[in-house]
Amino acid sequence: MTEHWKTLIAIGVGSAIGTIGRYSLNLLTLETGYPFGTIIENLFGSLLLGFLTAWFLVYVPKEWLKAGLGVGLCGGFTTMSTLAADATFLFQTYKPFEAVMYVIGSVLGGILLALVGYFAGSFLAKKIKERNKEVNSA
Phi, psi of 68 (to 5 degrees): -65, -40
Residue 122: CB atoms within 10 A of its CB come to 17
Q: How many helices (H) and strands (E) does the chain have?
A: 6, 0
Other Cβ atoms less than 10 A from the Cβ of 101: the count is 12
Greatest alpha-carbon pair distance for the chain in Å reads 66
Nearest to 21 by CA among 9, 31, 29, 32: 29
| Residue from 128, 110, 107 nearest 118 by CA | 110
Q: Is 78 annotated as a binding residue?
A: yes
Q: Which residues are annotated as a binding site?
A: 75, 78
Q: Which residues are annotated as a binding site for Na(+)?
A: 75, 78
